[in-house]
Every structure is written in structure tokens, then in C-alpha cells.
Amino acid sequence: TGIDIRGNGYYVLLPPSIHPNRGIYSWSVGCEPWSLPLAEYPDWMRPEIPPLDKSKCSQSGIVRVAQEISASDRIKRASFYLSECDPAIQGLGGHDKLLWASVAMVHGFLLSDRETLAILSGEYNPRCIPEWDLSQSGDRKDFERKIKEARKLTPKFPKGWLLNDPAYATPIEPSLKVSEGALKMIRDFQEKKIKPEYIGPVTIATPNNFRSELEYFQNPPGLVGDICKWINKTALKKQPFITLACTLTFCGSLFGRKVRDYLGSRTNLYCMGIILSSGGKAHAPNQIRKLCEHAGCLDLLGGDEAASDAAIECRLERNPSTLFLWDEIGLLLSYIQSGSNPHLTRIVSLLMKLYSLAGTVYKGREYASDDKQRTIIQPCCCIYGTSTPSRFLEGITLDELQDGWLSRCLVFESDENPPKTRENYSEQVPSDISDLVNLWYFREINTTSGKGDIESFTAFQSRTGTALAKPPEQMIIATTKDAEHRFINFDNESIEIGKENPDLACLWAKTEENARKISIIIAAGTDFEKPIITGPIAEYSCRLIKYILTQFVNKTVPKIVSSKVDMNKQKILEIVKKSGIRGCLNRDITRSARWSTRKQRNELLGDLIESGEIITAPSPSGKGILFWTYENFQKITQ
């Protein structure tokens, strides 16, 4: 006997195959598979396995371990084990490695198929070469098939054997995860010695303390303000208003699923920073990344790009509180508008649903296979996107003023391109900021323990958003009567503004909701023990929302177009507008509009001249025609 190898052109026949002469193959008598004993697996093919401590592997021991170890801790141990597993590499037994990893998850750590899929797709697949593209049905089915195969296998070791291995036990004491500074904050808190700026009511500055309303907005109190000051101090080009947008979304994700107000308002925010090219838009996101790294909370950050709505769902299933920092979001919105990629077109629809479901349960799309649907408990999806004005305008249409998407977004705009300053560019993350972020990140709110909040502080043991996890509890941040009165007045004012301009009513529909979200974030950052939404905090938030929307309505909405032709007209108008009162010649327009043909330019100019938006007159030399915008021409004639 031996090994018979077959290659191209060879085949193997088994009974009851049919011969061309119509005879049927059959087993020789006594040689049927059911009549022969199984061959012994050769020792030389067995992998080397370290000796197992059998005292830890009795069935009763396994049952005891399964009862003592929580589901979240099993996932942590499994994650640690996976980090030491070899990745699946194509051509080097990759499928077998994935199968073994699946066996270890379902049998070694007693994970469910859903938990196994989540941890393998999120932590193991990214290390494989190449990755399984789980957005493609073929790859996803192949990936899921390995888990089903693993479930059918009977491992040599007793079920749960890896749970007994002390090498994968994860300590749950916060001292090993929380920074030393955060631990000192805990001790100081217990002794009532914690820093006054983070404990107890904070005096909120009023607009009268600042030279302008914009300066008032750029100096929020508490943790939000401290992060903003550090980011602005280290910026080559200071953009404090844009920094505020980025910091609010970061703190929204940091406090996500931990705090709410009595109405159930949460801290999920969608903010966009619109800034001129080379104006310093990358600084704030980069500093937030540095802060997360320093404070040990990189898990808060999602991918820098979104390939599909399913990718966002998958991320939130693993980490329900997530901040997405997306550069050139205008370009992403343009791709979504084009409809060329069906995976991208569904992103906005998903984000609109997530915005409204932060306090409840998100159920993903139904599939024929039950285990594909995603269920996310209390998703806190925060987005900070940056773009240039022109890119942003290309990505939005008039329809979005009505469908509710733009009312969920806070658009922070800056027309400034400040000079560079290098004095404090290399300053590190302040330790007090890092420690407080670290403390909030690992904070678990336990409202049913009967103990004070700090006594119930533990490392947050479960970050999964699946239905299998215990829903997180929140600290309810009280709202004073003065603050509530301001919110109600602001809501009534927004309704009246919408009545005056019905086309923009949808934009003002979410103003109170967004103001409450910002108030929760500000309050949580100013008082760690008992945050309260006071009148000044509510005033700050309402005025900020009104300022943002007023700027958007006055500066951006008039430039939003309903078609590609209208967008090109706007581009021509911008070219003519930049020439000011001196006007411009046809050749100047041609040089700045090389994206168009002569025929297209003439048609666009003809429409603009006919509508009166562009005025023409012969040039003084008589060798050409000068073009002005109507506004600039009026300045000449006055």
C-alpha cells in the first residue's frame, strides 16, 4: 500500500458509478468500507501538542469554568488566543488555519456562531493574506462555512479546554488597564479631593465675556474645552471652530452608552468641518488619534474609510460606540450621489437610522440566512468628516434639504486660512486630559448596585453590541428648570423659522435634539460625579446650533444645486465673481474652466447672461467682452 497521487487527466471512481457499457461498479466482497477497520492515524503526521493538565479537563471542571467565566470574559480570552494564532495565508494551508481558529472559538472557548463570526471577522481576518472580502457573498459564505464545519467536528480535547488555560485568562482589575493618573483620580474622588474643574458645578462663561459670539463658542467649559485648547495650541494653522466640531464628536463617542438625559437623548453626533484647501483640516483628527493612543482608547476609532453600509454595521457590532474620522467626506458623498456603487449608496440611509436609534436597538437587513442579520444594542455612531467647500457642495443636493439627512448633520464652516505658527507644535498630550479620557473610557455605569458610582467603577468588560450582551446602563444627567425652559423656547423658535421658510423647515427640525446632545456632552465633561445640564450649558448649546444652521442657510444653501448643469453654472459664476469689479475676459474663464469644452462654456455663459446673473460689456480696447457678476457690476454703476 502507499499513497496514490492523481493529477490532471486522472480521476477516481467509487461505487455505484456507472460504466459506459452500463455496468455498475460495486465493492469487492469483504472490502466494503463498513467491513474494514479505520486505519490508524500515523504518528509522524500528528502535530506537536503540549501535554495537557488532565486535572483541569474533567467534564465537571469544564462546566464549573463555563459557569464562572462570563460571556464577555470568554470573548476577551478568545481574542488574546487569536492574537497568537498564525494568520491564514493563501497557498500555505490558509483554509485549515481558519478552520482551526474556528474550532478553538466554538469548542475551546465555547463561543456561539455569532460571537465566533464577529471575533474572527474583526480580529483574525484582517491579518490573513489575502483577507476574505466579507462584503462579497462568496467570500462571506466561505468564511461562515468554516464556522459551521468547526461546529460539527468533535475535538480531541474536552469542550472548553482553552478556558482552563491560565495563559489566556484576562485580569479584570482596572489597575492593569486604567492609567496611573486615572487611578489617582479615582482615589482623589473617593477622598473628595479630585480636581475642581471636573467635579461639581462649573461656572460657564457668558457671551458677554468674549469679544464675539464665535469666540464664545470656541471656548466651551470642562473636558471639551481643555481638549480644544490643547489641539489649537499645537496647530500649525489654528482653526478653533473646526477643532470644536472634531472634539464634540470625540467626546460624544467617549461618553456614548454611558450617559443620557431624562428624555433619552444620547451623545451621537454627525459633524462636518468645511475648510479651505491647505487650511489645516487634518490637525484636529490627528490629535484626537494621538489622544486615543495616549489614553488607551484606540478602540473608539473606526476605519478611516467606509467601504459599505455593511462595513459600518460590522464595526458597530464589535464596538457599538465608535468615532469615524473621515477625510474628504465630500468626495464620499459625491460617490454616494452618483449611485455607481450600491454598497456606498446605502450608507446615508444607514446613518439616518442609526442617528435615531442610539437609545434602543438597531436591526440590520434581513437575509435568507438567519445568522447574517446584525443586531446592535444602543449604537452610538459619531462621525467627523472634513472637506473643502467645493467638494462638499458637489456631494449634496436640494433633495437632502428635505429628506432629513442634512438636519442630522452639523456643518462647521471656516473661511479662514491662517498663517502658520510653530511654537507649540510638538507639545505632548497633557496628562490630566489623558487620564480623564482614560477614566471615562473604562468607566462602567451601574445604577442598580445600590452603591455610589465610583464604587461601581470597573474596567468595561463588554464592548460588544450584540443582543447576547447585557445592555449597558446609563447615568441620567439631570436638566435644571432653567435649562429646560431654554430648550423649549429654542424648539418653538425653530418651528417658527421653519414656518417662515417651508423649504428649509426640515433643516430646523432636529435643532432641539442636537442642542440636547451637545449639552449632555458638555455637562459630562464638566462634572465627573454628578453632571447637570444647567441654564448656561443649555444656552451655549442652543446658540451654537442656531449659529451653525444660520451660517449654513446663508452661505451654503444658496450654492446647493439640483443638477450637474446647475453645479457647472455655479463654478462659472465663482470664476467671474473672483475677478471683482475689474471683470474678466472670455480667455480668463477658459483658463479657469478647463473641465469644460468651448460649447459647454458658451451654453453656460449664455444661460447666466439670459438670467441676469452675469452682465457683459465691451472691453475698453474693443477687442473682447468683459464679464461681471450682477453684484460686482452694481458696485461699478453706484
Cell output for 621: 480696447
| Residues 510 and 626 placed together within one structural domain of the fold | no
Whether residue 388 contacts residue 276, with contact meaning beta carbons closer than 8 Å, is answered with yes
Segment 372-385 shows an average pLDDT of: 89
Examine residue 8 and state whether it is found in any structural domain, yes or no.
no
The predicted structure's pLDDT at residue 561: 63
Q: How far apart are CA 509 and CA 407, in angstroms?
A: 7
Using the 3D structure, point to which of 535, 558, 581 is the last residue of a domain.
558
Examine residue 235 and state whether it is found in any structural domain, yes or no.
yes
Cell output for 206: 457668558
| Residues 187 and 253 placed together within one structural domain of the fold | yes
Q: What is the CATH number of the domain that holds 575?
A: 1.10.10.10
Whether residue 161 contacts residue 108, with contact meaning beta carbons closer than 8 Å, is answered with yes
Higher-scoring residue by pLDDT: 11, 274: 274
The predicted structure's pLDDT at residue 60: 46
Amino acid making up residue 5 = I
Band (pLDDT 50/70/90 cuts) for residue 548 is very high
The predicted structure's pLDDT at residue 464: 47
pLDDT at 171 over 50: no
pLDDT at 440 over 90: yes
Using the 3D structure, point to which of 520, 541, 558 is the last residue of a domain.
558
| Residues 630 and 527 placed together within one structural domain of the fold | no
pLDDT at 170 over 80: no
Residues of the chain with pLDDT > 90, as a percent, come to 34
| Residues 238 and 377 placed together within one structural domain of the fold | yes
Segment 135-151 shows an average pLDDT of: 86
Whether residue 227 contacts residue 250, with contact meaning beta carbons closer than 8 Å, is answered with yes
pLDDT at 518 over 90: yes
Examine residue 109 and state whether it is found in any structural domain, yes or no.
yes
Band (pLDDT 50/70/90 cuts) for residue 371 is low
Higher-scoring residue by pLDDT: 479, 459: 479
Average per-residue pLDDT for the chain: 81
pTM: predicted TM-score of the whole model, two decimal places:
0.63
When mean pLDDT is compared across 57-61, 72-76, 377-381, 543-547, the lowest value belongs to 57-61
pLDDT at 539 over 70: yes
Residue 82 CB partners (closer than 8 Å, separation 6+): 101, 104, 105, 119, 120, 123, 124
Band (pLDDT 50/70/90 cuts) for residue 179 is low
- Burial (0-12, 13-18, 19+ Cβ within 10 Å), 415: exposed
The predicted structure's pLDDT at residue 125: 83
pLDDT at 250 over 70: yes
Examine residue 21 and state whether it is found in any structural domain, yes or no.
no
Q: Encode pLDDT of 276-303 as tens digits.
A: 988 888 999 999 999 999 998 999 999 8
Band (pLDDT 50/70/90 cuts) for residue 621 is confident
Residue 541 CB partners (closer than 8 Å, separation 6+): 515, 516, 518, 519, 522
Examine residue 47 and state whether it is found in any structural domain, yes or no.
no
Segment 509-534 shows an average pLDDT of: 93
The predicted structure's pLDDT at residue 482: 93
Examine residue 4 and state whether it is found in any structural domain, yes or no.
no
The predicted structure's pLDDT at residue 94: 72
Q: How far apart are CA 424 and CA 236, in angstroms?
A: 9
Higher-scoring residue by pLDDT: 614, 504: 614
Residues of the chain with pLDDT > 70, as a percent, come to 80
Residue 38 CB partners (closer than 8 Å, separation 6+): none
**Domain of residue 619, residue span:** 564-637
Q: What is the number of domains present in the chain?
A: 3
Segment 350-354 shows an average pLDDT of: 92
Q: How far apart are CA 113 and CA 143, in angstroms?
A: 12
Examine residue 15 and state whether it is found in any structural domain, yes or no.
no
The predicted structure's pLDDT at residue 59: 47
| Residues 118 and 216 placed together within one structural domain of the fold | no
Q: How far apart are CA 255 and CA 269, in angstroms?
A: 11
The predicted structure's pLDDT at residue 204: 59
When mean pLDDT is compared across 380-384, 516-520, 595-599, the lowest value belongs to 595-599
Q: How far apart are CA 61 and CA 50, in angstroms?
A: 20
| Residues 203 and 93 placed together within one structural domain of the fold | no
| Residues 215 and 276 placed together within one structural domain of the fold | yes
When mean pLDDT is compared across 24-38, 257-271, 476-490, the lowest value belongs to 24-38
| Residues 309 and 196 placed together within one structural domain of the fold | yes
Using the 3D structure, point to which of 150, 168, 186 is the last residue of a domain.
168
| Residues 618 and 535 placed together within one structural domain of the fold | no
pLDDT at 213 over 50: yes
| Residues 217 and 337 placed together within one structural domain of the fold | yes
Q: Measuring CA to CA, how many Å separate 607 from each of 7, 563, 590?
A: 71, 15, 17
Higher-scoring residue by pLDDT: 231, 48: 231
| Residues 246 and 379 placed together within one structural domain of the fold | yes
Band (pLDDT 50/70/90 cuts) for residue 2 is low
Segment 465-491 shows an average pLDDT of: 83
Segment 363-380 shows an average pLDDT of: 78
The predicted structure's pLDDT at residue 1: 47
Band (pLDDT 50/70/90 cuts) for residue 369 is low
Band (pLDDT 50/70/90 cuts) for residue 467 is very low
Examine residue 26 and state whether it is found in any structural domain, yes or no.
no
Q: How far apart are CA 57 and CA 59, in angstroms?
A: 6
Whether residue 562 contacts residue 397, with contact meaning beta carbons closer than 8 Å, is answered with yes
Segment 367-378 shows an average pLDDT of: 74
Band (pLDDT 50/70/90 cuts) for residue 334 is confident
Higher-scoring residue by pLDDT: 18, 49: 18
When mean pLDDT is compared across 362-371, 415-424, 489-498, the lowest value belongs to 362-371
Band (pLDDT 50/70/90 cuts) for residue 61 is very low
When mean pLDDT is compared across 318-327, 406-415, 437-446, 562-571, the lowest value belongs to 562-571
pLDDT at 66 over 60: no
| Residues 153 and 292 placed together within one structural domain of the fold | no
